[in-house]
Amino acid sequence: MLFLMFMFMIILIITSLLMLISSLLSKKSILDREKNSPFECGFDPKSSARTPFSLHFFLIALIFLIFDVEITLILPIFIIINHSNILIWLLTSLFFLIILLLGLFYEWKNGALIWVN
């Protein structure tokens, strides 16, 4: 245990030193005007690059990603039906699907799935 703590400390010190040295030796300037300005194919932008982003669109995209990952968790359920007890498989599958449906109904009830308010 002492050996692991010693190795952890050595690794922590070496990585900290490397990060410090690389930040000191880098020639990048944080306050460079050209790097802070938006870039559109070599032209000055026609409008502000800091336009407000639709929070509702972000919420819909996040819900899509969550349910997309859950679909990848559902697909193996049908593959393992031959390798497991049918009662345990049925209870586990129903429990998982009920949790997904409750989440969907919750989002629907709160109006997160309505695009236009």
Q: pLDDT by residue (tens digit) across 8-42?
A: 999 999 999 999 998 888 766 566 666 666 665 66
* Residue 117 domain-assigned (yes or no): no
Residue 112 CB partners (closer than 8 Å, separation 6+): 59, 60, 63
- 65 lies in a domain? yes
Inside any domain, residue 41: no
pLDDT higher than threshold 60 for residue 46: yes
Contact 70, 100 (CB under 8 A): yes
Is residue 46 situated within a structural domain?
no
Angle made by CA atoms 53, 58, 61, in degrees to the nearest 5? 145
Q: Which tokens is 16 given?
A: 């900290």
Range of the domain at 60: 55-109
* Domain total in the chain: 1
| 77 within some domain | yes
- The string of pLDDT tens digits covering residues 49-76 is 566 777 778 888 888 888 888 888 888 8
Q: Has residue 100 been placed in a domain?
A: yes
